[in-house]
Amino acid sequence: MPKITVDGKILEVPEGRTILQALDDVQLLMNGVEIPHYCCHPKLSIDGSCRLCQVEVEGMPKLQIACNTPVQEGMAIRTDTESVREARAGVMELLLVNHPLDCPICDQAGECKLQDYAFEYGIEQSRTREPRRARKKNVDLGPMIKFDQERCILCRRCVRFCDEISETGELRMFNRGDRSVIETLPSVPLDNDYSMNVADICPVGALTTRDFRFKIRVWFLEDVPGVCTGCANGCNVHLGVANNKVYRYVPRRNDDVNDTWLCDAGRLSYKEIGGGARLREATVREGDAPPKPTGYEDAVAAAAERLRAVVESHGADTLVVLASPHATNEELFTLGQFCDALGVGARGAAVVRGREDARLIKAEKAANAEGARRLGFADPVTTLAKLRDGAAAAALVLGHDALGEAFLGGPEPFAGLEALVLLDVYQSPLVKLAHVALPVRHVAEMHGTLTNVAGRVQRVVPAVEPAWEAWSAGEVVAHLGAALGLSGFEGDWNAGEVSRRLAASVDGFAGVHLESVGAGGRLLADAARGPAA
């Protein structure tokens, strides 16, 4: 660990790294040590094209670019001298020679590094008189990305991303000198599973996503930390929220989970949070009549009465429980306690599987499949067999993943039950069959934790509130337990308290709860063994 001096402060930094990389490693870059940069990105190769990160290094005759200068023992670096300030101003002036003065209408305004650095390090006015160079506007590079070519500063981050991260190579630099432009290869659109990341890493307004373009000004958004629920990887995201609505997901850096990337499918899954497919009202069904809307507490009471009648008539072994791998650890722990207290043995969780790749996209299309397994809800073969064979008289079902072709293939096995209680975030064919259907909260609407495929427990917090009455699934199950007179279900349900009880009583979760996982999550004690088969 060489020691270097930066602006008079002695720092111990990792060996074999450049100045910018070393400062990023110790979390000081642009967080105590200001070295502006465009082309450098912590997860891409070094390019050295923008020249904005120049610094003085004692003993070297001229300024050095911090992105490509390796640290050495005893190196003395100065980041705010007169020559450094002049160099930065000169670079900014050249970058702005042909850049359009359209900040008021640019979709990147408010989170544009060119805008920020021009204010911080640039000159007050342009010295050029020639007209700005004309380039292409509003170009479709692919199905997800728009390109305003005249705003591009040729940092080549997007080119390196397509070469090194997506490994699809759609973007290239064409021509030379002041005629240089970035384009897609002929007849090769920018269309890969991670294409929208180029908009995140573009430091200006050249690349924007078709989904978010001109939707809302970014300064109206509050960034709420969360977890993408599209698959079992649990990529870290910021939810952009305004007016109790989620407008976008953007990746949140976590080097242990998703680096700084997010797949396009996961990024667009934010639309499901407030989408039209949400279950929005509690219903109760009697006999062959269609379901009727009712008050939420009345529906919970009706659900408890239905389950009590079946258990008293046929015994608890005729009740099957299907958990949701989308529910939080705390909700699943409460559901497990409910099953134990009632004596339910037939329990499981149906985990839908799909396409995967070697980077972020996992085959399991549920954010907490690993948590469900670890909390007692394994493959639902036995549970589903009881439904198919008519051995079940009642079912408590969270979600509707069991309707998939790999499991039941439809709702028919539920049709003859004496009691079907459904807790779901979304509409499904089960709603019409359920004797009681209750809308429950999405993970973006509550406190809790999720366990990803690697055994990392990560925290979620409420970003929005549902516009209709909805409790968390854990709260509903707790009320059902209380109504049935089960031991351990007295008092209100609190995610924090449940999380601490879970950590104290479940193997592997020792010390891992809502208050201890931190912003980046925490591995379970036995996570090295990997997910269950």
User: How much is the average pLDDT of 420-442?
Assistant: 97
pLDDT, position 126: 82
448 phi, psi to nearest 5 deg: 165, -175
Whole-angstrom Cα distance, residue 195 to residue 210? 11
Domains in the chain: ranges and CATH: 3-95 (3.10.20.740), 129-272 (3.30.70.20), 283-529 (3.40.50.740)
DSSP notation for 220-245 = G-EEEEEE--SSTT--EEEEEEETTE
3-state DSSP call for residue 180? coil
Report the run of H or E that residue 299 belongs to, with start and end. helix 296-314
Mean model confidence pLDDT for the chain = 95
Tens of pLDDT, residue by residue over 44-67, are 999 999 999 999 999 999 999 999
For 145, residues 6+ apart whose C-beta sits below 8 A from its C-beta are 190, 195, 196, 198, 199, 207, 208, 209, 210
Tens of pLDDT, residue by residue over 376-418, are 999 999 999 999 999 999 999 999 999 999 999 999 999 999 9
Tens of pLDDT, residue by residue over 120-159, are 998 888 888 888 888 999 999 999 999 999 999 999 999 9
For residue 277, how many C-alpha atoms fall within 13 Å in the half-sphere facing its CB?
13
Share of the chain above pLDDT 70, in %: 99
Q: Strand 64-65 relative to strand 522-523: parallel, antiparallel, unpaired?
A: unpaired
Q: Is the pLDDT of residue 530 over 80?
A: no
pLDDT, position 533: 34
Whole-angstrom Cα distance, residue 138 to residue 158? 17
| Res. 528 pLDDT band, cuts 50 70 90 | low
Tens of pLDDT, residue by residue over 451-483, are 999 999 999 999 999 999 999 999 999 999 999
